[in-house]
Structure 1
Amino acid sequence: MGCRGLHLLIWVLSILCFACFCCCQFIPQDNYLINCGSPTNATVGNRVFVSDNSASKLLSTPQNVLASTSSKPVTSSKDSVLYQTARVFTGSSKYTFSIRQSDRHWIRLYLYPFVYDKYDMSKANFSVSSANHALLSDFSVNSYVVKEFSVNVTSSTLDVTFSPSGDSFAFVNALEVISVPNKLIADDASSISPPVVFQGLLWQALETVHRVNMGGPIITFENDTLWRTWVPDRSFLVEANLAKSVSNIPAVNYVEGGATPLIAPNTVYGTATMMNSENDPNSNFNVTWEFKVDPGFQYLVRFHFCDIVSRNLNQLYFNVFIDSWIAIRDLDLSTYLTNTLAGAYFMDVVTVKTVSNKIRISVGPSNLHDVYPNAILNGLEIMKMNNSQGSLSGPTAGTTSSSSKINVGMIVGVVIGVSVAAVLAGILFIICWRRRKLAAQGHTKTWIPLSTNGGNSHTMGSKYSNGTTTSIHSNLGYRFPFVAIQEATNNFDESWVIGIGGFGKVYKGELNDGTKVAVKRGNPRSQQGLAEFQTEIEMLSQFRHRHLVSLIGYCDEKNEMILIYEYMENGTLKGHLYGSGFPSLSWKQRLEVCIGAARGLHYLHTGYAKAVIHRDVKSANILLDENLMSKVADFGLSKTGPELDQTHVSTAVKGSFGYLDPEYFRRQQLTEKSDVYSFGVVLFEVLCARPVIDPSLPREMVNLAEWAMKWQKKGQLDQIIDSTLAGKIRPDSLRKFAETAEKCLADYGVDRPSMGDVLWNLEYALQLQEAVLQGDPEENSTNVIGELSPQVNNFNQDDNSFSASQADVSIADDLSGVSMSRVFSQLVKSEGR
Structure 2
Amino acid sequence: MWDFRELGLFICALSILPLVCFSADFVPLDNYLIDCGASSNTSINTRNFTADSFYNNFISTEQDILANTSLKSITSSSDSPLYQTARIFTAPSKYTFPINQRGRHWIRLYFFPFTYEKYNLSAAKFAVTTQNYVLLSDFSVQKNPVMKEYSLNVTSDTLVITFAPSDNSIAFVNAIEVVSVPDDLIIDDGYTLNPAGTYSGLWTQALETVFRVNMGGPTVSSASDTLQRTWVTDKEFLIQANLASNFSNIGAVKYVNGGPTENSAPPSVYGTLTQMNSAGDPRSNFNVTWQFVVEPHFQYLIRLHFCDIISKRLNELYFNVYINSWWAAKDLDLSTINNNVLAAPFFKDLITAPLASNKVFVSIGPSDLSSDYPNAILNGLEIMKMNNSERSLSSSTAVPLTSTSGSSHKKVGIIVGVSLGALLVVVLVGVFFFLRRKRRLLEKQGHSKTWIPISINDGTSHTMGSKYSNATTASAASNFGYRIPFATVQEATNNFDESWVIGIGGFGKVYKGELNDGTKVAVKRGNPRSQQGFVEFKTEIEMLSQFRHRHLVSLIGYCDEKNEMILIYEYMEKGTLKSHLYGSDLPSLSWKERLEICIGAARGLHYLHTGYSKAVIHRDVKSANILLDENLMAKVADFGLSKTGPEIDQTHVSTAVKGSFGYLDPEYFRRQQLTEKSDVYSFGVVLFEVLCARPVIDPTLPREMVNLAEWTMKWQKRGQLEQIIDPTLAGKIRPDSLRKFGETAEKCLADFGVDRPSMGDVLWNLEYALQLQEAVVQGDPEENSTNMIGELSPQVNNFSHEEVSVSATQFEASSLDDLSGVSMSRVFSQLVKSEGR
TM range (shorter): 0.5 to 0.7
Question: Residue 156 of structure 2 aligns with which residue?
Answer: 155
- Alignment correspondent of 1:816: 810
Cα 1:634–1:68 change in 2 (3 A) is closer
SS at match of 2:482: strand
Shift of 1:372: 3.1
> Which residue number corresponds to residue 76 of structure 1?
none
**Mapping of 1:3-82 within 5 angstroms?**
24-61=24-61, 62=66, 63-73=69-79, 80-82=80-82
SS at 1:53's partner residue?
helix
SS class of match (2:371): coil
**In structure 2, what is the Cα distance between the partners aligned to 1:415 and 1:265?**
42
Cα 1:117–1:629 change in 2 (3 A) is closer
- Residues 67 and 116 of structure 1 are in contact (CA less than 8 Å); yes or no, is this contact kept in structure 2? no
Distance 1:352 1:572, change over 3 A: closer
Q: Write the distance in 1 (CA, Å) between the matches of 2:412 and 2:625.
A: 52
What's the CA shift string for 1:24-65, capped at 9, x where partnerless? 532111111111011111111221111111211111133344
Pairs within 5 Å for 1:236-635: 236-368=237-369, 370-394=371-395, 497-498=481-482, 527=532, 565-567=546-548, 599-601=599-601, 615=621, 632=636
Shift in Å, 1:674:
9.9
Rounded Cα–Cα distance in structure 1 between residues aligned with 2:77 and 2:156: 40
Q: CA RMSD in A?
A: 5.4
Q: Which amino acid aligns with 1:31?
A: N
Deviation, structure 1 residue 582: 11
The 8 Å contact of residues 73 and 87 in structure 2, kept in 1 or not, is answered as: yes
Task: Pick one of 790, 793, 802 that aligns with 2:773.
Answer: 790
Query: Structure 1's 71 and 408: CA in aligned 2 closer, same or farther, altered over 3 A?
Result: farther
Question: Contact 2:280 / 2:373 at 8 angstroms: preserved in 1?
Answer: no
Distance in 1 between residues matched to 2:776 and 2:256, nearest whole Å: 58
Q: Which amino acid aligns with 2:810?
A: S
User: How far, CA to CA, are the matches of 1:21 and 1:199 in structure 2?
Assistant: 36
CA distance in 1, matches of 2:302, 2:349: 6
Q: What displacement does 1:291 show?
A: 0.7
The Cα of 1:751 is off from its aligned counterpart by 7.2
Task: Name the CA distance, whole Å, in 2 between partners of 1:177 and 1:583.
Answer: 54
For 1:740, the equivalent position in structure 2 comes to none
The Cα shift of 1:206 comes to: 0.3
Maintained 8 Å contact 1:40/1:50: yes
Deviations 1:695-733 (A, max 9, x none): xxxxxxxxxxxxxxxxxxxxxxxxxxxxxxxxxxxxxxx
CA shift, 1:636, in A, is 6.1
1:565 CA drift (Å): 3.6
TM-score by length of 2: 0.55
1:762-777 alignment to 2 at 5 Å?
Answer: none
Distance 1:335 1:252 in 2: 16
Secondary structure, aligned partner of 1:55: helix
Cα offsets for 1:63-119 (capped at 9, x unmatched): 34434344224xxxxxx1111111001111110001111111111001111111111
How far has the Cα of 1:814 moved from its partner? 5.9
Change (3 A) 1:259 1:53: same
- Please list the CA deviations of residues 556-597 of structure 1 after superposition, one character each: whole Å capped at 9, or x if unmatched: xxxxx9898445699956859xx999999999xxx9x99987
Deviation at 1:671, TM superposition (A): 3.4
Name the amino acid aligned to 1:364. Answer: G
Q: Residues 573 and 622 of structure 1 are in contact (CA less than 8 Å); yes or no, is this contact kept in structure 2?
A: no
Match of 1:132 in 2: 132
Q: Distance in 1 between matches of 2:52 and 2:311?
A: 52
Task: Give 1:197's aligned residue.
Answer: 198
Query: Distance in 2 between the 1:219 and 1:585 partners?
Result: 53
**What displacement does 1:632 show?**
4.0
The question of whether the paired residues in 2 share the 8 Å contact of 1:288 and 1:362 is answered with yes
Q: Cα distance 1:201–1:674, how it changes in 2: closer, same or farther (>3 A)?
A: farther
Structure 2 vs 1, CA of residues 572 and 126 (structure 1 numbering), >3 Å: closer, same or farther? closer
Whether contact under 8 Å (1:802, 1:811) holds in the other structure is no
- The CA distance in 2 between the partners of 1:793 and 1:389, in whole Å, is 42
Aligned residue for 1:335, secondary structure, equals: helix
The Cα of 1:622 is off from its aligned counterpart by: 8.6
1:99 equivalent in alignment to 2:93 = no
What whole-Å deviation, never above 9, does each CA across 1:127-176 have from its counterpart, x for those lacking one?
A: 10013110001011121110001111111111000011111111100000
Letter in 2 for 1:325: W
Question: Offset at 1:191?
Answer: 1.1
- Return the alpha-carbon distance in structure 2 between the equivalents of residues 669 and 153 of structure 1: 35
Amino acid at match of 1:363: I
Instruction: State the alpha-carbon separation in 2 of the partners of residues 117 and 582 from structure 1.
Output: 73
- Choose 791-800 or 336-345, whichever is displaced more: 791-800
Three-state SS of the structure 2 residue aligned to 1:208 is strand
Mark the CA change 1:575 to 1:233 in structure 2 (over 3 Å): closer, same or farther: same
Q: 1:364 to 1:813 in 2, by over 3 A?
A: same
Structure 1 residue 194 displacement after superposition: 2.4
Q: Show CA shifts across 1:291-316 (max 9, x none).
A: 11100000001111110111111111
Which residue of structure 1 aligns with residue 226 of structure 2?
225
Distance in 1, matches of 2:390 and 2:359, equals: 22
Secondary structure of 2:136's aligned partner: strand
Equivalent position of 2:84 in the other structure: 84
Judge conservation of contact 1:24–1:261 (CA < 8 Å) in 2: no
User: Measured at CA, do residues 621 and 154 of structure 1 come closer, stay the same or move farther in structure 2, by a change above 3 Å?
Assistant: closer
Match of 1:334, SS state, is helix
> 3-state SS of the aligned residue for 2:38?
coil
Aligned-pair CA distance for 1:322:
0.7
Q: In 1, Cα distance between the equivalents of 2:381 and 2:35?
A: 30
Alpha carbons of structure 1 residues 528 and 162: separation in structure 2 relative to 1, 3 Å? same
> What is the TM-score of this pair, normalised by structure 1?
0.55
Against the structure 1 CA distance between its residues 227 and 792, is the aligned structure 2 distance closer, same or farther, given a 3 Å change threshold?
farther
Aligned to 2:685: 671
Distance 2:573 2:209 in 1: 55
For structure 2, the residue ranges without an aligned partner over 5 or more in a row are 1-19, 398-404, 418-452, 463-479, 485-504, 508-527, 558-565, 575-588, 610-616, 646-660, 667-681, 695-723, 738-768, 784-791, 798-803, 814-837
Distance in 2 between residues matched to 1:386 and 1:250, nearest whole Å: 38
Q: Secondary structure at the match of 2:350?
A: strand
Is the 8 Å Cα contact of residues 65 and 89 (structure 1) preserved in structure 2?
yes
* CA gap 1:793/1:316 in 2 versus in 1, 3 angstroms: farther
Matched-pair contact (CA < 8 Å) for 2:553–2:635: no
| Alpha-carbon distance in structure 2 between the residues aligned to 1:254 and 1:279 | 29
Higher mean C-alpha displacement, 564-573 vs 348-357: 564-573
The count of aligned residue pairs is 542
- Counterpart residue identity of residue 114, structure 2: F
Quote the residue 2:793 is aligned against.
Answer: 799
Confirm or deny: 8 A CA contact 2:197 2:506 kept in the other structure: no
Cα distance change, pair 211–406 in 1 and its aligned pair in 2 (3 A): farther
Partner of 2:183: 182
Cα distance, 1:569–1:87 mapped onto 2, change above 3 Å: closer
**In the aligned structure 2, how far is the partner of 1:234 from the partner of 1:221?**
19
The 3 A distance-change label for structure 1 pair 634 and 167 is same
The aligned runs of 1:584-733 (5 Å cut-off) are 599-601=599-601, 615=621, 632=636, 637=641, 648-649=662-663, 671-672=685-686
How far did 1:341 drift? Answer: 0.8
Report the alpha carbon displacement of residue 374 of structure 1 after superposing the two structures with TM.
Answer: 0.7
Give yes or no for contact 1:622–1:633 (8 Å, CA) kept in 2. no
Distance in 1 of aligned mates of 2:234 and 2:415: 40
CA distance in 1, matches of 2:55, 2:572: 72
Query: Structure 2 CA distance, aligned partners of 1:502 and 1:26?
Result: 38
